């Protein structure tokens, strides 16, 4: 009963914040609403028994990534946009409908696959145990993926420096 | 089908539904907004929606592989945000505006 009330309250908040994120004309407000969405998602992860992921979500997304977004926005000194959305009522409706169609397809497919999933093994693990098992899995079975990810981050760091040094890019004046 | 039990017993389907709604919001932001940075935020929203469904499925099946995948997705998303913002800075340096309509014709 209380679980249901908590879930619906969280879902309403999440949907409201996400809707505000994509509709407010001022990009800074949009970023701040996205921070609230991230915090709500972190609460949802906590509900689902993923305490470590919830903490990482708070630190990495709400902490680091969104602060980066807000800093870049402040660098640009943007005002609220007069035309925040792309023009064209017909194409806009088409875009919304295609997004809704994709979401409906995904939800339908997932719902029909819920029935054929194996029943949960009912592992009421302690939070510390989840984190410990996560670490064990990450450094044994997924060690290669972990190292590849580190290499990817190095390449991205070099690439970002290279991209931010270009002058004009494809629109360079000649 | 729509009984009180379906509303009161929160299961996998509810979280999948929430995840689908959030994903479609992110997709609408990418398709319809004109500001490059808000489009990047839409991408972040989509990645987070997928993370939610990963965690929900992971809880349902009782193993931790979904958690590992979420970990990787978060790392990739942070890298993607860095590259995207660097591109936005490059666009701003040229046009003094981050509207996508200035950047739709790529010239070589």
What pLDDT, in 10s, does the model give residues A114-173? Answer: 777 666 555 555 666 888 888 888 899 999 999 999 999 999 999 988 887 776 555 555
What distance in Å separates the CA atoms of residue A154 and residue A164, rounded to the nearest whole number?
16
* Domain count along chain B: 1
In this complex, is the C-beta atom of A59 within 8 Å of any C-beta atom belonging to chain B? no
Alpha-carbon distance of A116 to A106, in angstroms, equals 16
Q: Is residue B60 part of a domain?
A: yes
Please give the DSSP secondary-structure letter assigned to residue A79: P
CATH number at residue B42: 1.10.287.3510
Q: Which domains does chain A have, with CATH numbers?
A: 1-80 (1.20.120.1200), 125-166 (no CATH)
Asked if residue B93 belongs to a domain, the reply is yes
**A68-to-A1, A2, A29, B81, B84 alpha-carbon distances in Å:** 39, 37, 14, 9, 11
Say if the Cβ atoms of A65 and B81 lie within 8 Å: yes
Q: Answer whether B14 sits within 8 Å of A123, measured CB to CB.
A: no
B6 touches chain A (CB under 8 A): no
- Rg of chain B (C-alpha set): 18
Give the integer Cα–Cα distance in Å for A68 and B36: 15
List the single residue in A84, A100, A130 with the smallest CB-CB distance to B33.
Answer: A84
Domain coverage including residue B85: 4-103
d(CA B72, CA B82): 16
At B19-78, the pLDDT tens digits run 999 999 999 999 888 888 889 999 999 999 999 999 998 888 878 888 999 999 999 998
Phi, psi dihedral angles at A102 (to 5 degrees): -65, -45
Name the strand (E) or helix (H) holding A74: helix A66-76
Distance CA B86, CA A162 (A): 9
In angstroms, how far apart are the furthest CA atoms of chain B? 60
**Could you tell me if residue B108 is inside a domain?**
no
- So what's the ipTM on this one? 0.88
Decide if B38 and A159 are in contact by the 8 Å CB cutoff: no
Distance from CA of B55 to the nearest CA of A (A): 7
Q: Which of B5, B27, B28, B75 to mutate to test the interface with A (most CBs of A within 10 A)?
A: B28
């Amino acid at each position: 009963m209380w679980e249901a009330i908590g879930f619906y309250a969280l879902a309403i908040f999440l949907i409201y914040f996400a809707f505000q994120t994509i509709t407010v004309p001022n990009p800074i407000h949009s970023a701040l609403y996205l921070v609230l969405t991230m915090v709500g998602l972190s609460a949802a992860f906590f509900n689902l028994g993923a305490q470590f992921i919830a903490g990482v979500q708070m630190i990495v997304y709400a902490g680091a990534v969104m602060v980066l977004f807000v800093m870049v926005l402040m660098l640009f000194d943007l005002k609220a946009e007069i035309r925040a959305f792309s023009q064209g009522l017909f194409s806009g409706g088409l875009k919304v409908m295609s997004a809704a169609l994709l979401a409906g397809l995904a939800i339908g497919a997932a719902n029909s696959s819920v029935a054929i999933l194996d029943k949960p093994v009912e592992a009421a693990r302690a939070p510390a145990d989840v984190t410990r098992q996560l670490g064990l899995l990450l450094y044994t079975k997924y060690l290669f993926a972990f190292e590849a990810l580190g290499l990817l981050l190095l390449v991205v760091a070099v690439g970002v420096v290279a991209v931010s040094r270009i002058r004009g890019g494809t629109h360079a004046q000649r | 089908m729509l009984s009180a039990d379906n509303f009161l017993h929160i299961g996998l389907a509810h979280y999948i539904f929430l995840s689908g709604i959030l994903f479609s919001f992110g997709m609408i932001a990418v398709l319809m907004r004109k500001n490059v940075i808000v489009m990047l935020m839409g991408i972040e929203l989509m990645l987070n929606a997928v993370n939610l469904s990963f965690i929900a499925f992971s809880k349902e099946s009782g193993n931790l592989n979904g958690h590992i995948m979420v970990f990787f997705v978060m790392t990739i998303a942070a890298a993607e945000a860095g590259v995207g913002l660097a591109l936005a800075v490059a666009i701003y340096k040229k046009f003094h505006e981050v509207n996508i309509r200035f950047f739709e014709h790529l010239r070589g």
